[in-house]
Amino acid sequence: MEKDSTVVLATEKYGSNESWEYIVKDGVMERKRNGSECGSGGNSIIGVFKSVFLPQGYPESVSDDYLHYQFWDTVQAFSSSLSGTLATQASLRGVGVGNPEATVAAATVTWLLRDGTGMLGRILFAWQKGSQLDSEAKKWRLFADVLNDIAMFMEILAPNIPSCFTLIVCTAGIFKSIVGVAGGATRAALTVHQARRDNMADISAKDGSQETLVNLAGLLVSLILIPLVTDKPVLTVILFFLFTILHLFANYKAVRSVVMATFNEARLSIVLHQYLRDGQILSPLEGNQKEPVFLELRKKVPVRLGVRLQDLVQNKDEFNLALKQTSMPYLLGVKNGCVRVCLGQEASTHDEIRAACQALCLGSVLHHATPMSGVPEKLLMLQSQSPWEMVFKSYNLMDQIFNPFLKGVEAAGWQTNRTLLNWDEWRVEWKTKTS
């Protein structure tokens, strides 16, 4: 009986999707796929689909939350495409399409005014809020989609109010310009989070392919939808609200599925306060699940990081108080109900995290009136009638808890080599003593 002469020379893999062997059999080298060959045609189709619409190396090349986020992002994009079709039809009717009395000049002026106000809105919004879009990407992502739905609803209503049509359309154009800035910037921030192999460009390109496919599907459905809703404003509004509900729900699920391992103010506050309550360190998944995703109109006790020295102290006595009992490369104080942190030139990322933790502890104490209900017991030691006395006590608290807290969050999987804490750019060098 002859022995099997098959010898395996080498094996190779394509990510986690394919595995192959190079074998020598009867002196001839062959390349053979590992595993069953059944259904290879189906696997080939799936493989082509993945290569077209998913980043190279998926799933190892992206974050764990990528597929969940992209699913809900696809749903919201499809519903938004249908809502946009209804809004576009209404806008065209409003500028006179189908109306023999309408003039090309009037329609052109309206369109130019809408585009012009939108351009100004885009510039002003980027100026005022651009620095917040990284640190609060989830909140601004959801805000952008809510604002987009409001803008489309305004466009649908505008033809029914002819006297205010231009004003309404221009306002909707401003809203849409804000949506463009906030949506594009936060998508870029999420791409940075999703990229695991410095493959942001690939992820962004494949996201564009996915969106194009969804818009194509929306276009095909719109071709069926438009004849059904033409000259039927009630049906248009009903369908718009149905698509809007689906759009907002999908957006909420999408931002909720994102699990960022870097600290912004909200995530740091959640993890820190849980640690102060019971010593437990929340994982990135647990911290992100507790993070609020809706924008707050006004913070009860705002925290400002990286302020100018004059925002913190007004005279030499206050400056000496700010330096008292600290050798840290930052100064901290309370002014006009706001916790302010002045950062030194040599401060490291860990110093930034410590300063933010200290500011958040002070903010919690200032927010809760006596008795301190809902505040971790360890923060009770900060109570004082004097703001500067509270600051001095907060340094002592950080000396006790920060190092164990930092080790705990690193062990839990949080990244501490970079943050999204939205520090301003002011950096100060100061003398340790003044006479």
Per the listing, tokens 């900060």 go with: 382
Give the whole-number percent of the chain exceeding pLDDT 90: 52
What integer pLDDT is reported at residue 24 of this predicted model? Answer: 83
Taking CB atoms within 8 Å and a gap of at least 24, the contacts of 186-193 are 186/133, 186/137, 186/138, 186/140, 186/141, 186/144, 187/141, 189/133, 189/134, 189/137, 190/69, 190/137, 190/141, 190/258, 193/63, 193/137, 193/258, 193/260, 193/262
Is the pLDDT at 354 greater than 90? The verdict is yes
Residue 38 has a pLDDT of 41
Strands 18-25 and 338-343: unpaired
Token output for 264: 């912004």
> Per-residue pLDDT for 96 more than 60?
no
402 Cβ contact partners less than 8 Å away, ≥ 6 residues apart: 354, 357
pLDDT > 70: percent of the chain: 90
- Mean pLDDT for the stretch of residues 241-245: 94
Q: Cα(153)–Cα(176) distance, rounded to whole angstroms?
A: 12
Outline where 95-194 has alpha helix (H): 104-129, 132-135, 137-157, 165-194
pLDDT at site 25: 80
pLDDT at position 359 over 50 = yes
pLDDT at 102: 52
Mean pLDDT of 243-269: 95
pLDDT of residue 40: 43
pLDDT tens digits, 111-155:
788 888 889 999 999 999 988 899 999 999 999 999 999 999 998
> Based on the number of CB atoms within 10 Å of its own CB, is 324 exposed (0-12), middle (13-18) or buried (19 or more)?
exposed
Flag whether pLDDT at 193 surpasses 80. yes
The model carries a pTM of: 0.85
Q: Is the pLDDT of residue 167 over 50?
A: yes
Contact 173, 165 (CB under 8 A): no
Summary count for the chain: helices (H), strands (E): 13, 6
pLDDT band at 322, cuts 50/70/90?
A: confident
For strands 303-305 and 28-33, give the pairing: unpaired
Domain spans of the chain? 7-53, 66-257, 265-412
Q: Under CATH, what is the fold of the domain 66-257?
A: Growth Hormone; Chain: A; (1.20.1250)
